């Protein structure tokens, strides 16, 4: 059975890169009828942010990436937080000491700094401490770490399923720390132990971990365990091709949700980062992605995460993929957030229908359609000028509108066209000042539709206000 996992660290906002890697882990597990696990790597206590774990899990659920095992859903391989698995790592670090694959190192931080300055990195000097002496010092409580003892000379072969085989000279592989002096493991030890104990068969992660993979391969060999298959995905890039970062791009999934991006659209866009559909189409469901997914269709070029392209795709989802009812439902929290209410479901649906070609994110709807929900809406400078130009015509139009009984789009269009013809002016010379009076803007849906939606009383009140 294929078992995949993601192992985010709760060190800040849920990251778009986590969602991207989660998506491919999820798809590969589902395609193979396997299991997808979420594990929280919270061993870096200095960078731990309270509440971050809950936000990561909530973001995965928002994106529709359900997992089979995790800290909040449980499962047969728990606990799923590394901070709750410390005795396991200590046990396996001891095991490596017994097997001669690790050693205790007692350098102080100051000594390590000096070694780094002189040698450019740790030089393995504690390898020479006789094991009995190291054990005695450890029993006396002397602070120390446990390091991997890389076999030298020698080579380590890493097979990446997307890149082929790379052979590393063991001289280039450092004796990394496996267990820190506070008893917490480093990523290297914890992730190998957990992946093995949780039955992970396929490790799909970002390519920045490729350089660490020889260390992990050596650890599998040291324990006598079969290594999983490794797939290192291309890193998401900023538009300037640098690695995606919050300095240059929005990386927080919470930001995308708050800005009114649809989870379906963001998920679809992330699928296109490194993957293309056989028929070249860009809009597809999660199920269609899973069905079409093969590793042969993953490209290793650095995919550029382009916010404008995502906005375009989000707009396509709003206009072409979701039903009108669904879009109306989804804009409700954003209307409430803006302090706006609506008189009926039918009114809201019609408002969304009229505005649908004009907004690309859910948050833009209340911003651009404010005049449909409240009398407290801004008036643009252009609209103000147009209103002032057209005041003489609007004064004459007002009694005609007041006398109009049939308040439908067709009847209002006939009235306005007839009025413009009678005055010997183009329709726009009447319509634009009226639009400005009713909406405070010149960029709105059709005027007859807006008049009909606002209703006679509200439209007349706004016109009276403008004429005053």
- Annotated binding site for ATP: which residue ranges? 246
Q: How many CB atoms lie within 10 A of CB 86?
A: 16
Q: List CB contacts of 374: < 8 A, sequence separation 6 or more.
A: 340
**Can you tell me the distance from the alpha carbon of 244 to that of 260, in angstroms, rounded to the nearest whole number?**
21
| Helix ranges restricted to H, 319-455 | 324-337, 345-355, 364-368, 381-403, 409-423, 427-439, 447-454
Single out the residue of 281, 188, 273 nearest to residue 236, CA to CA. 273
Q: What angle do CA 333, 338, 341 make, to 5 degrees?
A: 70
22 and 221 Cβ atoms separated by less than 8 Å? no
306 and 170 Cβ atoms separated by less than 8 Å? no
**Can you tell me the distance from the alpha carbon of 143 to that of 67, in angstroms, rounded to the nearest whole number?**
39
Single out the residue of 458, 325, 456, 435 nearest to residue 383, CA to CA. 435
176 and 146 Cβ atoms separated by less than 8 Å? no
19 and 6 Cβ atoms separated by less than 8 Å? no
Single out the residue of 366, 291, 29, 45 nearest to residue 185, CA to CA. 45
Task: Provide the annotated active-site residues.
Answer: 246
Beta strands in 59-211 (DSSP E): 102-105, 145-148, 155-160, 164-169, 177-179, 202-206
DSSP 40: B
Whether residue 153 is preceded by a cis peptide bond, meaning omega within 30 degrees of 0, is yes
**Can you tell me the distance from the alpha carbon of 408 to that of 406, in angstroms, rounded to the nearest whole number?**
6
What is the chain's percent helix, strand, coil content, to nearest 5?
50, 10, 35
Q: Give CB contacts under 8 A, 24+ apart, made by 430-434.
A: 430/390, 430/393, 430/394, 430/397, 432/386, 432/390, 433/386, 433/387, 433/389, 433/390, 433/391, 433/393, 433/394, 434/390, 434/394, 434/397, 434/463
3-class secondary structure, 173: coil
Q: How many residues make up the chain in this entry?
A: 468
Single out the residue of 233, 252, 221, 241 nearest to residue 151, CA to CA. 221
């Amino acid at each position: 059975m294929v078992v995949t996992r993601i192992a985010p660290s709760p060190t800040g906002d849920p990251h778009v890169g986590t969602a991207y890697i989660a998506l491919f882990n999820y798809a590969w597990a589902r395609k193979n009828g396997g299991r997808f696990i979420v594990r929280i790597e919270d061993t870096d206590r200095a960078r731990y942010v309270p509440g971050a774990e809950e936000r990561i899990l909530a973001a995965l659920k928002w994106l529709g990436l359900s997992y089979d095992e995790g800290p909040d859903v449980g499962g047969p391989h728990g606990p799923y937080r590394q901070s709750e698995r410390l005795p396991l790592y200590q046990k396996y670090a001891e095991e490596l000491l017994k097997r001669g694959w690790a050693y205790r190192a007692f350098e102080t931080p100051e000594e390590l700094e000096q070694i780094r300055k002189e040698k450019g990195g740790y030089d393995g000097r504690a390898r020479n401490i006789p094991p009995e002496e190291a054990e005695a010092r450890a029993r006396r409580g002397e602070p120390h770490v446990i390091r991997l003892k890389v076999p030298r000379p020698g080579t380590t072969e890493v097979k990446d399923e997307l890149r082929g085989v790379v052979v590393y000279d063991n001289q280039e592989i450092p004796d990394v720390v496996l267990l820190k002096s506070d008893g917490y493991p480093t990523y290297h030890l914890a992730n190998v132990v957990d992946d093995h104990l949780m039955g992970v068969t396929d490790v799909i992660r970002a390519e920045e971990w490729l350089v660490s993979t020889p260390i992990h391969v050596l650890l599998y060999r040291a324990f006598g365990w079969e290594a999983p298959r490794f797939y290192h995905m291309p890193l998401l890039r900023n538009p300037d091709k640098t690695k995606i970062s919050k300095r240059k791009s929005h990386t927080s999934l919470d930001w995308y949700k708050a800005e009114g991006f649809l989870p379906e659209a963001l998920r679809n866009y992330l699928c296109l980062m490194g993957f293309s559909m056989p028929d070249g189409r860009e809009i597809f469901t999660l199920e269609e992605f899973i069905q079409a997914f093969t590793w042969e269709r993953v490209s290793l070029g650095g995919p550029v995460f382009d916010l404008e392209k995502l906005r375009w795709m989000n707009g396509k989802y709003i206009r072409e993929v979701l039903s009108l009812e669904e879009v109306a439902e989804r804009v409700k929290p954003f209307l409430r957030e803006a302090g706006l209410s609506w008189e009926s479901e039918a009114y809201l649906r019609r408002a969304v229908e009229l505005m649908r070609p004009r907004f690309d994110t859910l948050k833009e709807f209340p911003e651009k359609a404010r005049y449909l929900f409240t009398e407290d809406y801004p008036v643009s400078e252009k609209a103000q000028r147009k209103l002032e130009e057209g005041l003489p015509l609007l004064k004459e139009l007002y009694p005609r509108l007041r006398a109009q009984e049939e308040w439908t789009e067709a009847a209002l269009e006939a009235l306005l066209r007839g009025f413009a013809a009678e005055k010997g002016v183009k329709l726009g010379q009447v319509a634009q000042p009226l639009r400005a009076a009713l909406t405070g803007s010149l960029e709105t849906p059709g005027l007859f539709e807006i008049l009909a939606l606002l209703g006679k009383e509200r439209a007349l009140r706004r016109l009276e206000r403008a004429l005053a």
